[in-house]
Amino acid sequence: MQHRSTKSPRPVSDTVFAFPPNRDTMGGTSYFILENSGNILVDCPAWDAENQEFLQEKGGIRWLFLTHRGAIGRVKEIQAAFGCEVLIQEQEAYLLPGLAVTSFQFEFILSPSSQAIWTPGHTPGSACLYHREQGGILFTGRHLLPNQQGEPVPLRIAKTFHWRRQLESIGKLRDRFSAETLQSICPGANTGFLRGQRKVDRAYEQLMQLDLEALREMKPGL
């Protein structure tokens, strides 16, 4: 029996929507991007009637992009319902046996506006989705999450695959973008710390404020 979400997907902007946290992915937040060349679903929302109806009304899904292994939910059902392509970094594609999956190594272009970027560390195949519209939005999965102040930070937990590699991935994002090309972050969890804002603003500025040297010495949390 399908359970229903307590809330409907909420707009982040005119073309980006955030789903309620999904208990199947440990409270992960997934996103839906309206694209002229085909809509993109970032990670798996709860597979309930309300979310299915929302996706149908918005024109379905062209791509389902998975930011990391912990965001894998009801992929099989989503692909069967919408005939979408599933995109995941190559090191974690084995977790989807029997499905038609597109994998990538470093980067992958989904559309003229959206690109997948490998950012290993949280997991071996952790990746972000960069959407160049609206000043540049980075969908970070659990690579970067808001802290209690709503600031985007890496979180070192017991299950972190490789902490130093995760920090190196942040450094590469800082080298890649600028204040003009990266204005927002849509994190894949901890969205309650955004206090209703639904995205992190001044994203590049806040990334540049991270002290990566100090973070290298951080001990794992829970």
Query: How does pLDDT run across 174-194, given as a tens digit for each residue?
Result: 999 999 999 999 999 988 888
Token pair for 153: 């930070």
Q: What percent of the chain stands above pLDDT 70?
A: 96
Q: Which amino acid is at 16?
A: V
**Helix (H/G/I), strand (E/B), else coil: 25:** helix
- Give the position of tokens 């990538």: 104
Residue 1 has pLDDT above 60, yes or no: no
Contact 64, 74 (CB under 8 A): no
* Contact yes or no for 104/89 (Cβ under 8 A): yes
Ordered structural domains, the chain, with CATH:
10-216 (3.60.15.10)
pLDDT digits (tens, 9 = 90+) for 160-170: 999 999 999 99
What is the Cα–Cα distance from 37 to 184, expressed in whole angstroms?
A: 22
In the predicted structure, residue 221 carries a pLDDT above the cut 80: no
Q: Say whether pLDDT at 5 is over 60.
A: no
Average confidence (pLDDT) over 21-31: 94
Neighbours of 110 (CB within 10 A): 23
Rounded Cα gap, residues 187 and 151, in angstroms: 11
pLDDT single digits (tens) 41-85 = 999 999 999 999 999 999 999 999 999 999 999 999 999 999 999
The pLDDT, as a whole number, for residue 6 is 53
CB atoms within 10 A of CB 78: 21
Query: What was the pLDDT predicted at 8?
Result: 86
For residues 133-154, one letter each, b for 16 or more C-beta atoms within 10 angstroms of the residue's C-beta and e for the rest, the string is beebbbbbbbbbbbeeebbbbb
> Three-state DSSP class for 41?
strand
The residue with tokens 């992929």 is 75
Q: How far is CA 96 from CA 123, 160, 189, in A?
A: 16, 21, 22
Is residue 4 scored above 70 in pLDDT? no
Cβ atoms within 10 Å, residue 91:
18
